A and B are shown apart, each in its own frame.
Chain A
Amino acid sequence: MTGMEILLLVAFGGVMLTYILGRISSSLRNTFAVVLSLVLVVIIALMYDKTGETIFYRGFFGIPMVLRINSLSWIFAMTISFIGCLSVIFSLDYMKVKERTSFFYAMLLLVNSSMMGIVLAGDLLTLFIFWEIMSWSTFLLISYNGGPAIAAGMKYIVMSFAGSMAMLAGIISIFTAFGTLQISEIAAGMSSASSGFKIFIVIVFGIAFGVKNAIWPFHAWLPQAHAEAPSPFSAVLSGVLIKMGVFGFILTMYVVVGLGTYMSLGGAIFSVRSILLVMGAITILVPTFVALLQDDAKKLLAWSTIAQAGYIMLGIAYGTSLSMAGGVLHFLSHVVFKSLLFMTVGAVEFRTGGIRDLNSLGGLIKKMPFAFTGTLIGVCGLIGVPLTNGFVSKWLIYKSLIFGSPLLTFVALFGTWGTVLYSYKLIHNIFLGQLPEKLKDVENTPLSMKLPMIILSFTVLLFGILPGLPLRVINKIVVSLGFDSLNISLWGIVSESGMLNMINLFAAILAGLIAVWLFLRIGARTIPVKQDDNYAAGAAVPRDRYNYTVKFYDPLLRMISPYLRDIFDTFYMKIADLTGYLSNGIRKIYTGYVGNYVMYIVLFISLMIFVQMKWSPW
């Protein structure tokens, strides 16, 4: 029983046990869930530098189902368990008010364990089985809140189900072509396959992983799903679940299809790589500006997740060692700061009784300082302010992209400024400005929500200042995928074209901060003053009407909103209506009169005989 089998056994066993314990007593179940996720984190941490494959099950028509661990799957598994554990801790308080919590915990742990299964899968069949379990358990969790969540859940499941059907077709066509489903053997067989077959495989897997990764054409389901899912789960959903698509892309591009062939796949102009790059670039640009339009905090974050997935896609699809390291590191940093942001927004939603609309919040910094610091650090990570992990990963991506294709770098850099705008709108509308009357008696964030926030903020800064820690593991991945390794030092990269040194930067910024703080201290003491004592041209500050945060970037939005209608969202809706319309039409065949039915039978026979007489095809 290798570590991997124990891990999956404990994970899936834990799910059953949580549900049963939930029947007995909720506090017992909560502690068990937290302990279980901690144990999972420890098990995976212990499997740090191991690689290996074991066949763990032959029951499925004798096809060997294999579990595999290498540095790539280790880093993904580590993030999944880490974020899963934090979201369980986060949901202790969040779920207290809601009913059917044991169902929620069981599903949350089921999603986490099925993601671990995906990541550890050694062959495509195991991958597909865990992929499907993840899909339908996410569906149950997304539509957990009822009401609008149901439409969001339906849209999610239909798109992801279509994706997994495409994946099934791909897997089975590989099975029929090579007779085996083990990834290592497929990689060997793949080089011999015809390029048409390879393109088909890439397209099919691309659709499946594109839907999950919310790449630009397949992103329609994500905003509603994120906004409606309960906050602890939307932290997992946007942090880690989206990244299963990333894992899938890495798998198909570099392992199944292999590095050499991927780079030259497809024609000169329309090569798969350039299409992916262009899709990644569009995924950065369009959602960033759509995020500006959003008034719901979680929808804004959802659109920003899509945008950041575009960055990761750029990093991975570009195909040099620096860009791959940048892509994986950006995945890691995005998981950390995006779940931090979702948790803080969840805490605000929890404390203000479910208000997520950015126009009716404000001034919460005085009431919820912890949530503010969490959001501030998360936002700095999202933008990529130096000293945060977002900066390091974006720097890596740009460094590799700049000389190859400056246009893509331009799109990515301009996307950063779009990120600045919408993330500032998030932090300004929730925490700064005047505190409205109805939010007067909001208390601070509960303890169980503070803990994950502190840990995640600490990780954002730690990986920002000492990027060597994650980069050492990522270097192993880069090497295992067939690139040449980078020389990593603890605080940055010593690469050929200009190096990154975070410690000097950190020291410089720290010195600057201290100097300016002292300079401020020279000045006379300042008087703390409440929000009413404000300049209002001599008049008294009107209560509750001075909270000017509505339509924050109106001049810009009036210029660009006509271009931002979501054509794909309406496209999918049209397809749904079309099927509905078509099926109503077809149902009319069964008219309800027996005469018609018998006439059908006779018609069938006469048609057959007529065809036989005329052409006798049989």
Chain B
Amino acid sequence: MVNPVLLIAVPLGLAFMVPLIDSASRKLTRFVPVAALLFNLILCIRLIPAVLENPIVINLGGFTPPFGINLFVGPLGLLFAGLISLAGLVVSIYSLSYIKNGPVVKYHMLYMLLLTGATGVVLTGDLFNLFVFFEILCISSYALVAYHGDRAGIESSIKYLIQGTVGSGLLLIGIGFIYGIFGTLNMADIAMKIATVEQSTLFVPMILMVAGLGVESAIFPLNAWLPDAHSSAPSSISAILSGIAIEVGLYAVARIVFTVFGISDIYLFFAFLGILTLLIGEMCAFAQSNIKRMLAYSSIGQIGLILFALALATNNTVTGGLFQLVNHTFSKGLLFLSAGYMIYRSGSMEISSLNGMGKRMPLTSLAFTVGAFSLVGLPPFAGFPGKFLIVSGALLKGEMVINILVGLVLLSTVIEGTYFFRVIQALYFKDGNGEQRKQAPATAVTAMIALMILIVALGVYPKFLADFLSSASSDLLDKMSYVGSVLK
């Protein structure tokens, strides 16, 4: 049975091998990330049957949990790892042809580091180890945002850097608090000892850690960096950022709130926070005329929706939230990738410059339309089952407050529909300046088609992912099984 540590070790090793491979032969460097992520994906798929029975716990260096660092590969962790590797693979295929000029070697190295950090955060069972991987993730994304080297890129990456470091600093202080109180850094250990300590003292470390991770996972007051970072980063990177980086941040927040602290009466506050983020994200996207900023704000909105779903903490809504998360990764990735080439072809990021793209790049516009329809939640595509689960789970709780929040969710979907349909109309029904038809290059098209197939498949037959997600949600929710399997 292959050791899950390879999931982190292989991309890390290859990341540092990239300059060596580059000096050997120029062409090969582009294919290194593809190989690494393909390996990761195959490994995850092979691990699924094992993980479904009981989660795998690996103690690094042979030390037993309270002291050593351990990896916890449960269905939730594996879901995220698989998602990261799959999305990373598709984006790497896309960036084979998208990233040509500029420091290509650094791009691929940082790209590998980013994905390693993400996988590490998802799989680790130790708080400090979480912080380390979290740092790797953030720093590599700071650098990648400034990849283009133009004025906007550097400015937004500096903003991202400042906010990120403030966030990480808060996270570190929180972890320090916890270490001071409990003397241990292992999540399961803390989770077990949590009951012994009086709840009000725990509040400050929790808020600090949640705020620290919240900056990365774009919760409302903390997400000011996201619009600039995503709009000025190259499209493949913004696809990864909004597809994976935010989700991983959200996973970390969920893991801390649910398993480590498990204070159930704060969930309603997070639900309100999620709705707030959703409404603000949608409203701002509605007012945008720059396509990438619009997509960035819509990512904030979707994250708010997922946070709302997770915060309701019933098996049904969490499954819905995770389904919406998977759908968001795929469709937002597809939107960014297709927008990337359209901007590349039309020259500017304004929506008005995309007029008539339907004739010039029919397949890319089709990809954009499919992504938009699935994000808005129209039936034959993946968004609809996710929304259906969230709304039915929320209404099942039956509380009047939740019903009102669900009403707000539906209202924001209408707003979301408006601005996406506005872009689709610009693509197909406004006539552009009529250059002749020129398709995107082959690798980009394959990446888009792969994502499209995934979206339609999930939309038409959501059942096959549903059971895997329900086990992942139970893994997230019941603390006892987590602690039991780690400290057995």
Contact = CB atoms under 8 A, between A and B. Distances in A.
Q: Decide if A and B touch, CB cutoff 8 A.
A: yes
Interface of A: 58-62, 128-130, 132-133, 136, 139-140, 143-146, 149-150, 153-154, 157-158, 161-162, 165-166, 168-169, 172-173, 175-176, 579-580, 582-584, 586-587, 589-590, 592, 594, 596-598, 600-601, 603-605, 608-609, 612, 616-618
A60 B462 contact: yes
Interface stretch (B8-16, B29-37, B203-211): B203-211
Given A601-B166, A605-B170, A609-B204, A128 B379 contact: yes
24 contacts: A59-B462, A61-B389, A61-B466, A128-B379, A129-B379, A129-B380, A132-B378, A132-B379, A153-B425, A158-B414, A165-B410, A165-B413, A169-B391, A169-B410, A175-B392, A176-B392, A586-B284, A589-B284, A594-B162, A594-B163, A596-B224, A598-B166, A601-B167, A601-B170
B463 to A, nearest CB: 5
Contact of B207 (A173, A609, A617): A609
Nearest to B390: A172
Given A59-B460, A144-B429, A612-B203, A590 B284 contact: yes
B415 interface: yes
Interface string B373-391: 1000011100011011101
Nearest to B323: A61
A139 B421 contact: yes
A378 B309 CA distance: 54
**Which secondary structure dominates chain A's binding surface?**
helix
A603 B221 CA distance: 9
B429 A158 contact: no
A205 B153 CA distance: 49
Given A61-B462, A129-B380, A157-B421, A584 B207 contact: no
B425 A150 contact: yes
B246 to A, nearest CB: 16
Interface residues of B, number: 66
Given A176-B398, A587-B287, 14 more contacts: A132-B384, A133-B380, A143-B428, A153-B429, A158-B421, A168-B388, A176-B395, A584-B287, A597-B224, A597-B225, A601-B163, A601-B221, A605-B211, A612-B200
B222 A601 contact: yes
A161 B460 CA distance: 21
Contacts, number: 158
Q: Which 7 A-B pairs have the closest CB atoms?
A: A597-B224, A583-B287, A129-B379, A583-B283, A165-B410, A583-B286, A59-B461
Contacts of A60: 385, 462-463
Interface stretch (B90-98, B107-115, B135-143, B263-271): B263-271
A221 to B, nearest CB: 13
Is chain B's binding surface mostly helix, strand, loop or mixed? Answer: helix
Contacts of B428: 140, 143
A618 B407 contact: no
Nearest to B265: A618
A605 B170 CA distance: 10
Given A149-B429, A161-B417, A582-B283, A168 B224 contact: no
B430 interface: yes
A263 to B, nearest CB: 29
B280 interface: yes
B159 interface: yes
Interface string B281-314: 0011011100000000000000000000000000
Nearest to B359: A100
A4 B253 CA distance: 49
Nearest to A157: B421
A39 to B, nearest CB: 23
B321 to A, nearest CB: 15
Contact of B425 (A143, A583, A587, A608): A143
Nearest to B227: A590
A587 B284 contact: yes
A597 B224 CA distance: 6
